[in-house]
Structure 1
Amino acid sequence: MRPIFISYRREDTEGQAGRLFESLREVFGEHTVFMDVATIEPGADFRRAIETNIDKCAVLLALIGRTWLTVTDREGKRRIDNPNDFVRLETSSALKRDVTVIPVLVQGATMPQEADLPADIKDLAYRNAFELTHARWDSDVELLIRTLRTRAVDAPGEPASAATPHAIPSPNANAGKGHAHIWTIGGAVAAVALMGAVVLKISGSAHEAKANPAIVASEPVPATTASTPGNQAGKGDQMVSKKALQRAAHDRGACVKPFVWRQAQPRDKVCVTPDTQSRILAENRAASDNRMPNGGAYGPDTCKQGFVWRAAFDGDTVCVTPESRQMTADDNMLGARRIVPLPQ
């Protein structure tokens, strides 16, 4: 399967990008969804690195929040106007290579107009957008996944399975593929049934959160596990066991509901409340406001009087109040109790 690339601004949609990344990774696999060009080696040309990563992808999801277009640099200039802006480079590289670019609107954002975009990404204004809402997140993501399946499942060099997400095939074209589609739906239904069974099994476990844990398979259940006449024999061998699902969720550090990953940095998997996640992301955005303008005893990361380093992880120098630092330390201590438990 060809990779899916998520492009976003940390100041704009960091929380939504992390949430979408995990949702898609559960379905398509951890090596198929990319969120950051974070592994560029020192001294490497980041422009070439971005082009190399985009060139391998089938789809680029451009997450657009309310400030995607208006975020400014230290000089007060729009970042999107900088030719070396990472988001602009990612988008222009995808458009230039005819990679499918899907604008994903979050936070109630609207599509940027052509007149507001630099010349090399003006075509983005004409790409059909997809909206993810907080209230309907799960159902919206499911619809997005259906679209991505038609775009990213083809191996490089093979024709795409559909011209566009809305393409309607001829009733007589590829008739044999209809059966495969039915089996795929059957497999999805079986996977949902499995997840529900696991949730019911562990919902009564002595866990800090009373809500049911969210259990997902580490890989899709094979389509052949659909219940059909003559398919009962050997069914247990073809189906992912409940314990395997639960163990996979535990190994990933999946949180029991209502907890979510903190996202103090993109790979921060400490389980916290949604309100705490919102506070952490707000602290990240305000980081520069709480530092000494000209540095100090601890260099450029010196905090203003009354603020301390948050220390959510090693090297976390975001300046916060002492109360926030203590709450963060408490979350670090309690985080392990909030993940899906190992099966008994």
Structure 2
Amino acid sequence: MRPIFISYRREDTEGQAGRLFESLREVFGEHTVFMDVATIEPGADFRRAIETNIDKCAVLLALIGRTWLTVTDREGKRRIDNPNDFVRLETSSALKRDVTVIPVLVQGATMPQEADLPADIKDLAYRNAFELTHARWDSDVELLIRTLRTRAVDAPGEPASAATPHAIPSPNANAGKGHARIWTIGGAVAAVALMGAVVLKISGSAHEAKANPAIVASEPVPATTATTATTPGNQAGKGDQMVSKKALQRAAHDRGACVKPFVWRQAQPRDKVCVTPDTQSRILAENRAASDNRMPNGGAYGPDTCKQGFVWRAAFDGDTVCVTPESRQMTADDNMLGARRIVPLPQ
């Protein structure tokens, strides 16, 4: 499966991007969903780094909030007008490479018009948008996941169809191609089945224990990771391979996935302490205001000395973000409770 890239502005949709990233990664896997180019090494040409990352992707999700188009730099100029703006580079690189670009509208935002966009990303205005709403977040994300399944599995070089807002792909849309591939390997499957017939007769059918459906949902996966073989006689719907709920639940536990309604805190990259969405928003706001709560000229604890009335948050070792004592205590409580909020191991 080719990767999915989430493009967003920190000042505009940081919270929604993190929430969407978590939802998609639990379904598609930790190494299949990327959220901005955060691993560019010092001295590297970030333009080439962005192009390299985008070139590997099947889909770019362009998260657009109410201020996506109007965020300005220190000189008061729109960032989107800067040729070196990361969001512009990510979008233009995807459009140039015919990567499927799906505008994802959040916060009630509307699509930017062609006249408001720089020349290299004007085509974005003609891409069908997908809306994620706060009230219907889970159901909207589920519809987006169904759409992404048909995009991200495209083989390199195959043309991707245009994105459709809230479109639910037909489960038989690729039935013809799927059966063609199945018949190609039909001889090999038949031979293996013949050789293993005795073993299968002895062992019988295996059944997986059911997992808690409120925690993990069974999802179809590529045949390379399926637990049983697909044969030409299977019907289109029944031929899809499924990973057991128990296996998905175990994988989610290993990733530290949170049970609903908890989400990863994100006090720092890869911070997987599970907290409420409101706490995550508070933490992200504290990160943005970190410099405002420090002594401007430093103090007894160096440049990270907090202003009077503030203390280090201590969400992790070395966390010197200055917050109120109440926030520090809530953070300590979350550290203690976080392990109880992850998906449990199946029984």
Report the TM-score range of the alignment, normalised by the length of the smaller protein.
Answer: 0.7 to 0.9
- Asked whether the 8 Å contact 1:28–1:219 carries over to 2, the reply is no
CA distance in 2, matches of 1:193, 1:62: 46
SS at match of 2:175: coil
- Asked whether the 8 Å contact 2:130–2:164 carries over to 1, the reply is no
Cα offset, 1:111, TM superposition: 1.7
CA distance in 2, matches of 1:194, 1:297: 77
- Asked whether the 8 Å contact 1:290–1:307 carries over to 2, the reply is yes
- Asked whether the 8 Å contact 1:59–1:100 carries over to 2, the reply is yes
Change (3 A) 1:244 1:174: closer
Query: Which piece of structure 1 moves more, 191-200 or 323-332?
Result: 191-200
Cα offset, 1:300, TM superposition: 5.0
CA distance in 1, matches of 2:195, 2:18: 22
SS at match of 1:34: strand
Cα offset, 1:246, TM superposition: 2.7
CA distance in 2, matches of 1:132, 1:191: 48
Change (3 A) 1:76 1:229: closer
Change (3 A) 1:235 1:330: same
Change (3 A) 1:199 1:48: farther
- Asked whether the 8 Å contact 2:218–2:243 carries over to 1, the reply is no
SS at match of 2:6: strand
CA distance in 2, matches of 1:316, 1:209: 42
Cα offset, 1:338, TM superposition: 1.6
Change (3 A) 1:63 1:228: same
Change (3 A) 1:306 1:293: same
Q: Sequence identity of aligned pairs in percent?
A: 99
Query: Which piece of structure 1 moves more, 295-304 or 175-184?
Result: 175-184
Cα offset, 1:57, TM superposition: 1.2
- Asked whether the 8 Å contact 1:147–1:165 carries over to 2, the reply is no
- Asked whether the 8 Å contact 2:60–2:99 carries over to 1, the reply is yes
Unaligned 5+ residue runs, structure 1? none
Change (3 A) 1:191 1:90: farther
- Asked whether the 8 Å contact 1:261–1:269 carries over to 2, the reply is yes
Query: Which piece of structure 1 moves more, 213-222 or 168-177?
Result: 168-177
- Asked whether the 8 Å contact 1:260–1:274 carries over to 2, the reply is yes
Change (3 A) 1:67 1:177: same
SS at match of 1:165: coil
CA distance in 1, matches of 2:193, 2:165: 27
Aligned length: 344
Query: Which piece of structure 1 moves more, 191-200 or 88-97?
Result: 191-200
- Asked whether the 8 Å contact 2:80–2:87 carries over to 1, the reply is yes
- Asked whether the 8 Å contact 2:211–2:246 carries over to 1, the reply is no
Query: Which piece of structure 1 moves more, 28-37 or 187-196?
Result: 187-196
Query: Which piece of structure 1 moves more, 157-166 or 194-203?
Result: 194-203
- Asked whether the 8 Å contact 1:2–1:57 carries over to 2, the reply is yes
Q: Describe the superposition over 1:245-280 as per-residue Cα deviations: whole angstroms up to 9, x where unpaired.
A: 332221111222332221223422111122212211
- Asked whether the 8 Å contact 2:103–2:130 carries over to 1, the reply is yes
Cα offset, 1:218, TM superposition: 9.1
Cα offset, 1:52, TM superposition: 0.6
- Asked whether the 8 Å contact 1:311–1:325 carries over to 2, the reply is yes
CA distance in 2, matches of 1:311, 1:127: 44
Q: Describe the superposition over 1:214-248 as per-residue Cα deviations: whole angstroms up to 9, x where unpaired.
A: 53369745789799999999999986445433322
Cα offset, 1:170, TM superposition: 13
CA distance in 2, matches of 1:191, 1:141: 42
Query: Which piece of structure 1 moves more, 318-327 or 73-82?
Result: 73-82
Which residue does the alignment assign to 2:292?
A: 289
Is 1:195 aligned to residue 179 of structure 2? no
- Asked whether the 8 Å contact 2:266–2:284 carries over to 1, the reply is yes
Change (3 A) 1:296 1:30: same
- Asked whether the 8 Å contact 1:209–1:256 carries over to 2, the reply is no
- Asked whether the 8 Å contact 1:198–1:246 carries over to 2, the reply is no
Change (3 A) 1:257 1:207: farther
Query: Where do residues 185-334 of structure 1 align in structure 2 (5 Å cutoff)?
Result: 214-216=214-216, 220=220, 240-296=243-299, 300-334=303-337
CA distance in 2, matches of 1:91, 1:41: 21
Query: Which piece of structure 1 moves more, 160-169 or 81-90?
Result: 160-169
The two structures have a TM-score, normalised by structure 2, of 0.76
SS at match of 2:62: strand
- Asked whether the 8 Å contact 2:215–2:249 carries over to 1, the reply is yes
Q: Describe the superposition over 1:168-188 as per-residue Cα deviations: whole angstroms up to 9, x where unpaired.
A: 999999873587999999999
Unaligned 5+ residue runs, structure 2? none
Query: Which piece of structure 1 moves more, 296-305 or 59-68?
Result: 296-305
CA distance in 2, matches of 1:198, 1:272: 51
The two structures have a TM-score, normalised by structure 1, of 0.77
Change (3 A) 1:234 1:336: same
Instruction: Name the Cα RMSD after superposition.
Output: 8.2
Query: Which piece of structure 1 moves more, 311-320 or 103-112?
Result: 311-320
Cα offset, 1:213, TM superposition: 8.1
Cα offset, 1:302, TM superposition: 3.9
Q: Describe the superposition over 1:130-154 as per-residue Cα deviations: whole angstroms up to 9, x where unpaired.
A: 1001111121112212222222211
Change (3 A) 1:226 1:119: same
Cα offset, 1:212, TM superposition: 7.6
SS at match of 1:225: coil
- Asked whether the 8 Å contact 2:273–2:338 carries over to 1, the reply is yes
- Asked whether the 8 Å contact 1:62–1:104 carries over to 2, the reply is yes
CA distance in 2, matches of 1:311, 1:198: 60
Over alpha carbons, which structure has the higher Rg?
2
- Asked whether the 8 Å contact 1:195–1:215 carries over to 2, the reply is no
